[in-house]
């Protein structure tokens, strides 16, 4: 029976690349994002292995409903990837927009917590795996970076959660890329990492022997 992976922020960039990589390795994929049109197109591209569950990852009930639909369709949940996230248009502590901070914190932190909360009861049944999109910005201090601080939270929480889920045979991994050429940035970054590189890192962790918990994969552009 094929394994099943639930992904937030799945309509483009890292999420979409991971969905394609997982499906190519025989996984079923459940895809959540706010962009219903992009999500439906991706699910159609992948085929019967994919389920589109449009919704806002910052809504706990929406994530709970998405996981329920995933299990209903595919029978079980083997992994979840808390990937939804955003940056800031106006960085800086004094110059920044507090409302934008609020939105970013909700999607970068609360949405990830919600994924863990709704997925773990199902992952316990399969001794499953939860992944988070961290960042190189969550591994070093960057002057005034509030975005980086949200990723420090993700790195810390993922480490803490890894200790929790190992009690029942589960695994937890944070995928920490440097700059990736995705719609996250206003301008293309063709000399940086590609979403497929990050998807490869996620699959490395997922495909490791169950005795081996790869707790972090840190990848950087080699230029």
Pairing relationship of beta strands 28-32 and 4-8 according to DSSP bridges: parallel
Q: Is 147 one of the catalytic residues?
A: yes
> For 119-157, what is each residue's pLDDT tens digit?
999 999 999 999 999 999 999 999 999 999 999 999 999
Which structural domain range is residue 38 located in? Answer: 4-219
Q: Which CATH number covers residue 169?
A: 3.40.50.720
Q: What tokens were used for 30? A: 């459940």
Tokens, residue 143: 């002057």
Instruction: In whole angstroms, give the CA distance from residue 69 to residue 72.
Output: 5
Nearest to 85, CA basis, from 196, 182, 215, 219: 182
Of 74, 114, 147, 157, which one is the catalytic site residue? 147
User: How does pLDDT run across 38-92, given as a tens digit for each residue?
Assistant: 999 999 999 999 999 999 999 999 999 999 999 999 999 999 999 999 999 888 8
Q: Partners of 177 in the beta sheet?
A: 219
Give the total number of structural domains in the chain: 1
């Amino acid at each position: 029976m094929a394994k099943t992976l639930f992904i937030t922020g799945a309509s483009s960039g890292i999420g979409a690349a991971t969905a394609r990589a997982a499906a190519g390795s025989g996984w079923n994929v459940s895809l959540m994002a706010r962009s219903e049109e992009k999500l439906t197109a991706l699910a159609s591209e992948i085929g019967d292995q994919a389920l589109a569950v449009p919704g806002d990852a910052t809504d706990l009930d929406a994530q709970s409903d998405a996981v329920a639909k995933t299990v209903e369709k595919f029978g079980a949940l083997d992994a979840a990837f808390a990937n939804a996230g955003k940056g800031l248009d106006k960085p800086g502590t004094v110059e920044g927009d507090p409302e934008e901070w609020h939105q970013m914190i909700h999607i970068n932190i609360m949405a990830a917590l919600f994924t863990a909360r709704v997925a773990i009861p199902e992952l316990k049944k399969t001794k499953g795996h939860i992944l988070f999109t961290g960042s190189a910005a969550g591994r070093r201090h960057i002057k005034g970076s509030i975005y980086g601080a949200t990723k420090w939270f993700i790195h810390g929480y993922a480490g803490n959660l890894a200790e929790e889920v190992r009690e029942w045979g589960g695994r937890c991994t944070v995928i920490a890329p440097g700059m990736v050429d995705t719609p996250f940035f206003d301008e293309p970054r063709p000399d940086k990492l590609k979403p497929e590189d990050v998807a490869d890192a996620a699959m490395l962790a997922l495909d490791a022997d169950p005795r081996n918990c790869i707790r972090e994969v840190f990848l950087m552009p080699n230029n």
